[in-house]
Amino acid sequence: MTGLDAASWDALRLSLLVSSVATLCALPLALWVAWVLARARFRGKAVLSALVHLPLVLPPVVTGYLLLLGFGRNGPIGELLYSMFGVTLAFQWTGAVLAAVIMGFPLMVRAMRLAIEAVDPKLEDAARTLGAPPLAVFATVTLPLIAPGILAGSVMGFAKALGEFGATITFVANIPGQTQTLPSAIYAFLQVPGGEGRAVALVLWACVIAFVAVALSEWLGQKVAQRIKGGQNA
Amino acid sequence: MSLSVHIQHQLGAFQLDAQFEANAGVTAIFGRSGAGKTTLINAVAGLLKPDAGHVRLGTRTLFDAHSFVPAHKRNMGYVFQDARLFPHLTVGQNLDYAARFRPKPRAANHRREIIELMGLEKLLTRAPIDLSGGEKQRVALGRALLSRPEVLLMDEPLAALDSTRKDTILPYLERIKAQTDAPPILYVSHALDEIARLADHIVVLQNGASVLNGPIFDVLSDPDAVPLLGVRQAGAVMMAQVEEHRAQGLSLLKVSAGMLSLPGVHAPVGSTVRLRILAQDVILSRTRPEGLSTANILPVTVRGIKTGIGPGAAIGLQAGTDKLIARIPAPAVQSLQLATGQDCYALINATSVAPASIGR
């Protein structure tokens, strides 16, 4: 019915796992960076913004290679992680998570930053005069108003992670059952004569997931617009 | 509870240096736009930390050189010009917002009282986006009152409303003021008609400095204050008692110096109302005039004369225990031989007192 063999299922399952973990890991950090970019005023803000957006403009293969240099077993960070925690990222599914986090991060930050910027700080002032301490202001006013933006950003990050290919294949290679994600699997199938059938089945799955993700983010984007509009008319 | 305020703050090239005391009742902070009104009230609320000065409420210091109590610990209600209702919460949830942080005993009773006072019974389940401007402001007033503030701050609460809506909200403000447990109210406005209806005390801000400060009846009838308040807006406030409603919509009102016949008075017989008599609607005569269309003639004594403000002169008048102010052409001061202590008659055009200028 699904037209998928064991290797394809493995790739699909791994892709969903990597994307989910990557999105969940990136979420708090992306929210914090979005907040800083939207609200804080400091020197070097442009540098931070450029750094965050870099993976969006760099060829993914370059990003993957830089990750390999930094996080490989002999790289400075990779060596440190291994000696201190015994953790290896290169050529592991966890490395695929790292690549997905880095590649999806700018998209997540962007969506969340727009949502935060659309919140009128005057509403937060009003909450303060009603007795809400700073954290409560965030939890009861800011967070509910930007929630659709956070969700939309997460969907974007998830979709990006699902489709990530260049950085992933460079950093963690294409090992079936270990690091072979959905795009890597499609690529691998297409390298083998007669593999088109398996590839097409995966392509269809990728299309369905992508369509659902985009539709979801579109719907959530409309919700955020509605909420903020209500705020401005108030 | 007395509020003592002295705020010094530099904002770019603008320097704010204002001080005043506010007690029970309504203290108006009047000034043109850019006079520093909002900066001043934000500093009182704790939304802004001023460079220097102090804010004291009773014996509690909220701000001075050594301390700064943040806004959420000040227990001040703040009604903004733009109601600032939380768009993701219903009206009822907006009203209950402060209770999450300041739980108070007897809250259920109080909630019911405020909802009734502000006429919000039918709005509770609505979303802020579905409310009219006036309704939003009533919810904002209710929300601030339900936080049981020790001081209520209002920053131009009517400025965003058209004049019809304004007239529907003003009675609610008068209701709040009339409550027995009403907190001291700071009312920021650039509209003297609102201030004349509501305030007991007025602080005048000019270019960031508090230049005038006193009871509303004295300041609004002070000829020397006319340049500060604006020639067109100048007008005194007097108290009157409703004696009788007559035909043609005219009502007979008793003031300390005599009787006035005015239209548009809806307050019941026996009640006391405020009348705002614009300076330009008062005509002076040395002798008691006869055969005029207006019956509103009060014997008055000249208290002070201010010339040199354009083609007009402002004349401060004592009418019984009330004070009036008249604006007459400058040459008339000479021809009528007006001087302080001079007795004369003030004529008030009956139709010139707008209903909006008559408040409880």
| Subunit contact B84:A123, Cβ cutoff 8 A | yes
- DSSP for residue B286: S
Check CB contact under 8 Å for B84 and A131: no
Contacts of A136 in chain B (CB under 8 A): 100-101
Given a cut of 90, is residue A7 above it in pLDDT? Answer: no
Closest Cβ–Cβ partner in A122, A131, A229 for B101: A131
Measured between alpha carbons, how far is A103 from A115 in angstroms, rounded to an integer?
Answer: 20
Question: B41 vs chain A: nearest CA distance in angstroms?
Answer: 12
Q: Is the CB of residue A131 less than 8 Å away from at least one CB of chain B?
A: yes
Position B85: which residue type? L
Nearest Cα residue in chain A from B87 = A231
Residue A186, pLDDT above cutoff 80:
yes
Residue B117 located in a structural domain: yes
Do residue B215 and residue B287 come from a single domain? no
Q: pLDDT value at position A47? A: 93
**Which CATH number does the domain housing residue B342 bear?**
2.40.50.100
Residues B258 and B205 in one domain: no
Same domain, B279 and B194: no
Q: Which chain B positions have a beta carbon within 8 Å of A129's beta carbon? A: 45-47, 71-72, 74, 76-78, 144, 147, 153
Contact A10, A177 (CB under 8 A): yes
Give A-chain residues touching B74 at CB under 8 angstroms. 129
In terms of domains, do B73 and B188 share one? yes
B28, two tokens: 């108006």
pLDDT confidence of residue B251: 87
Distance from CA of B145 to the nearest CA of A (A): 10
Q: What pLDDT, on a 0 to 100 scale, did the predictor assign at position A233?
A: 40
> Which residues partner with B316 through β-bridges?
B304, B325
- Is residue B230 domain-resident? no
Furthest C-alpha separation in chain A: 70
**B208 and B240 housed in the same domain:** no
What is the residue-level pLDDT of chain B in tens, covering all 360 positions? 789 999 999 988 899 999 999 988 999 999 988 888 999 999 999 999 999 999 999 899 999 999 999 999 999 999 999 999 999 999 999 999 998 887 777 778 889 988 988 899 999 999 998 999 899 999 999 999 999 899 999 999 988 888 878 888 888 888 888 887 889 999 999 988 889 889 999 999 999 899 999 999 999 999 888 888 888 888 898 888 999 888 888 888 899 988 888 887 888 888 888 888 888 889 898 888 887 777 789 999 999 998 877 788 899 999 999 999 999 888 888 888 888 888 999 998 766 565 555 665
Domain boundary pick from B192, B219, B246 = B219
How far apart CA A225 and CA A21 sit, in angstroms, is 28
Asked if B102 and A233 come within 8 Å (Cβ–Cβ), the reply is no
What is the structure's pLDDT at A91? 87
ipTM of model: 0.84
In a domain, B164, yes or no: yes
The per-residue pLDDT for B330 is: 86
At A175, which helix (H) or strand (E)?
Answer: none
Which pLDDT value is given to residue A1? 43
Residue B309 within any structural domain of the chain: yes
Give the mutation candidate from A122, A123, A124, A129 for the B interface (greatest B CB count, under 10 A): A129
CB B140 within 8 A of CB B172: no
Instruction: Using a pLDDT cut of 90, give the percent of chain A over it.
Output: 58
At B103, which amino acid appears?
P
Q: How far apart are CA B30 and CA B236, in angstroms?
A: 15
Is residue A82 within 8 Å of A1, Cβ to Cβ?
A: no
Q: Which residues of B touch A231 (CB under 8 A)?
A: 87
% helix, strand, coil for chain B, step of 5: 30, 35, 35
Regarding whether B215 and B243 lie in a shared domain, the answer is: no
Q: Are B142 and B92 in contact (CB under 8 A)?
A: no
Do residue B203 and residue B244 come from a single domain?
no
Chain B closest-CA separation from residue A116 CA (Å): 15
Residue B228 in domain = no
> DSSP string spanning B54-113?
EEEETTEEEESSS-B--GGGT-EEEE-SS----TTS-HHHHHTTGGGTS--TTHHHHHHH
**DSSP assignment of B101-155, as one string?**
TS--TTHHHHHHHHHHHTT-GGGTTS-GGGS-HHHHHHHHHHHHHHT--SEEEEE
pLDDT at A2 over 60: no
Residues B22 and B163 in one domain: yes
Secondary element (H or E) of residue A70: helix A60-71
Whether residues B212 and B294 fall in one domain: no
- Closest residue in chain A to residue B129, using alpha carbons only: A230
Residues in CB range of B92: below 8 A, 6 or more apart: B124, B125
Residue A5: pLDDT band (50, 70, 90) is confident
Provide the 10 A C-beta neighbour count for residue A1: 3
Query: Which range marks the domain in which residue B117 is found?
Result: 3-219
A6-229 carries CATH number 1.10.3720.10 = yes
Cα A170 from chain centroid (whole Å): 18
C-alpha A167/C-alpha A100 separation (Å) is 8
Report the Cα A122 to chain-centroid distance in Å.
Answer: 31
| Structure tokens, B59 | 């014996």
The Cβ of residue A170 has, within 10 Å, a number of other Cβ atoms equal to: 19
Domains: count for chain B: 2
**What is the structure's pLDDT at B165?**
81
Q: What is the CATH number of the domain that holds B90?
A: 3.40.50.300
